[in-house]
Amino acid sequence: MALIKLQAVRKIYEVGTETVRALDGVDLEIQRGGYVAIMGASGSGKSTLMNVVGCLDRPTTGSYVLNGTAVEELSDDELAAVRNREIGFVFQTFNLLARTKALANVELPLTYAGVSRKERRERAADALERVGLADRMNHQTNELSGGQRQRVAVARALVNNPSILLADEPTGNLDSATSNEIMALFDKLHLTGNTVLLVTHEPDIAEHSHRQIVLHDGKLVEDRKTPR
């Protein structure tokens, strides 16, 4: 069974008198262990797709089943619980809590999962080790470089063992050397069994994935294997 299954998903916004079809009938299946890049120009609907897949938003119509759960009809709080359990977000702008230690940032999802303080600490430390930041655990986020911050964000995404790592332009704010490091990290995480979903408009970043999906005007226009 597919980990992610979208059927005829539409997302329609009313902007003033205009109707915007951000997603216009998207069908998509992603298997567990997949490494998928979602591509498209800005305005193509890829961010909206990511929000829907990441359970931050509900489709206007259509169905979305994530890991066996029909998500489209869940309440806000149920969605929050799904995000907590199933999704690990990595954002372009890192989205870490400022003036807070790396360790505390990584602990955050566990806090909302109701994990005890001691276990939180251990698991967060472990996640930071996996992204190669064992020596930066007690640094405040504003004392870290961009690459290090993104690693903290990846550790936070990983810490709750989610079904999917969802990365929205994860290298958008990084220089190319650091971008390569971060992408190498995603490659490694994929190899160790994680399902990775990248949203990007950069072809060379998409090259890391095994499957590329291209959106245009809210429609899925291309779905291909990454040539090797």
Partner 1 sequence: MIVTENFRIALRALWANKMRSMLTTLGIIIGVAAVIGVVSIVQGLQVLLTRQFEGLGANFMIVQPRQQFSGPGMVQKPVRLTWDDGLAIRDAVAGIDMITPQMFGSSQAKYRDRAHGTFVIGVNQDWPEVHDFSVEIGRFFNKVDLDRRQKVAVVGLDVVDELRLGNPIGKEMTLGTLPVTIVGVMEKKGQSLGQNLDDLVFVPFETALGIFGRRAAEQVQLRLRTTSTNNVDQVREEIRQLLRRRHQIVGDDPDDFQIIVQDEILEQTTQLLGTVTFVVAGIVGIALLVGGIGIMNIMLVSVTERTREIGIRKSVGARRQDILLQFLIEAVTLSLLGGAIGLALGYGIGRLATNLIPGDLPPAVVPLWAIALAFGFSTAVGVFFGIYPASKAARLDPIDALRYE
Q: Which residues bind partner 1 (CB under 8 A)?
A: 51, 54, 56-57, 76-77, 80-81, 83-85, 89, 91, 95-97, 99-100, 108-109, 111-114, 156, 160
Cβ nearer to partner 1, comparing 2 with 80: 80
Sequence-distant (≥ 6) Cβ neighbours of residue 6 within 8 angstroms: 26, 27, 28, 29, 52, 53, 59, 62, 63, 64
Check if the beta carbon of residue 21 is closer than 8 Å to that of residue 44. Answer: no
Cβ nearer to partner 1, comparing 32 with 85: 85
Check if the beta carbon of residue 25 is closer than 8 Å to that of residue 49. Answer: no
Q: How far is the CB of 112 from partner 1 (least distance, A)?
A: 4
| Measured distance CA(203)–CA(198) in Å, rounded | 11
Q: How far is the CB of 58 from partner 1 (least distance, A)?
A: 11
- For the sheet containing 35-39, what is the strand order? 87-90, 164-168, 195-199, 35-39, 211-216, 219-225
Q: How far is the CB of 80 from partner 1 (least distance, A)?
A: 4
Cβ nearer to partner 1, comparing 65 with 80: 80
Cβ nearer to partner 1, comparing 199 with 206: 199
Kind of pairing between the strands at 35-39 and 211-216 = parallel
Query: What's the half-sphere exposure (Cβ side, CA atoms, 13 Å) at 181?
Result: 16
Q: How far is the CB of 97 from partner 1 (least distance, A)?
A: 6
Q: Which two tokens stand for residue 30?
A: 């992603």
Cβ nearer to partner 1, comparing 114 with 193: 114
Q: How far is the CB of 223 from partner 1 (least distance, A)?
A: 25
